[in-house]
Amino acid sequence: MSGEAGAPVSDAGGATTRRRGRPPRTESAGTRDRILTTAREEFSERGYEKTSVRGIAKAAGVDPALVHHYFGTKEQVFAAAVEVAFAPALEVPGAIADGPLAEVGERLTRFILGVWENPATRTPLLAILRSAVNNETAAAVFRRLIADQVLYRVAAQLDLPDAELRVELAAAQLVGCAMLRYVVKLEPLASADAEQIVARLAPVVQGHLTGP
């Protein structure tokens, strides 16, 4: 009788081997995290088109079947990597809900700038963005996640005409600033004090969100 997938089985000589497939339950969380971390690194270094499930598996030291087991297709692996990289930004709707609408521009600006200011959250953001801007499939995954998890939820809180357009314009303002400051590193923006940027940018973001 064959053993359970991933369970030890004995060959004819009595040696114990492990079937290919799922790892033991005690290994699952660590294996999944290792695959996801490796996938993010592979997408960052190689781009979406040149990254493969087989390459991710090899770099992570696992069988390709495990990558498919945990995540599915390459597109689904990328979606999972995006979600992890953008996890801090996905908290935006909750972060801006606590306070008056008249101050939502400052709360949103301060929150987004804080995510980019922190190297621990900025590094994976930049890594995954490099794949998204160079491939339409990757860009579509990124758009779905940001639209569904952030923009539409923020728009629902505004309860104003053209709420989705307002939120997208505010996001464009903030993302454009982040790209120039942290990616292009255009001076003097790159070296400006964060509080100075918040003071200048927040009223513009507020205007997009609640202005006429």
Q: Is 91 exposed, middle or buried (0-12, 13-18, 19+ CB in 10 A)?
A: middle
Residue 152 has pLDDT above 50, yes or no: yes
In degrees, rounded to 5, the angle at the alpha carbon of residue 122 between the alpha carbons of residues 120 and 124 is 80
pLDDT tens, residue by residue, 86-134: 777 777 777 777 788 888 899 989 988 888 888 877 877 777 777 777 7
Helix (H) or strand (E) holding 133: none
Q: What is the CA radius of gyration of the chain?
A: 22
pTM: 0.69
d(CA 67, CA 184): 34
d(CA 21, CA 9): 13
Higher-confidence position of 160 and 16? 160
